[in-house]
Amino acid sequence: MTFEVVAETVRERIRSGGLRPGNALSTQAMLMQEFGASSLTVQKAMALLKQDRWAVSRPGKGAFVAHRDHGVDDADGLDSPEVTALVSGAVARVEALERALADAVEQIADLCVRVVVLESGGGGRGR
């Protein structure tokens, strides 16, 4: 099974409405099992779907169907370069904020551990 076949199968599921914008895509392990494909094949298929804007990654959450209709004529101008640029910019900002939030959560967790260590082994200070 080639990565192109895996990617095209997922695209067809999106086109047919079986997968809708915002739906989670199957995990790498699930796709490997479904297609009898290697890890590398599935990774390349997912990279292609993301490159072609059929899918987006959410750090720590997985891959999801992108919020964009593919293969549909755009009669309302929503696929204009200006709108696409605005959406792309917004997506990039949201992804950057998600990364910053994940970093902040990690820092808070580290600080909580430090506080516990200090409180348990900090001697008589503050008591």
Q: How much is the pTM?
A: 0.54
* DSSP single-letter state for residue 24: B
Distance CA 9, CA 35 (A): 10
Question: What is the model's pLDDT at position 70?
Answer: 46
Question: What is the model's pLDDT at position 7?
Answer: 95
Question: What is the model's pLDDT at position 43?
Answer: 95
Per-residue pLDDT tens digits of the chain, which is 127 residues long: 899 999 999 999 999 999 999 999 999 999 999 999 999 999 999 999 999 999 999 888 899 999 865 444 444 455 556 666 667 777 778 888 888 888 899 999 999 999 999 999 865 555 4
Pairing of strands 62-65, 55-58: antiparallel
Question: In the numeric block, which tokens belong to residue 121?
Answer: 């082994």
Local structure of 31: helix, strand or coil:
helix
Name residue 120's amino acid.
Answer: S
Distance CA 45, CA 8 (A): 9
Question: What is the model's pLDDT at position 88?
Answer: 72
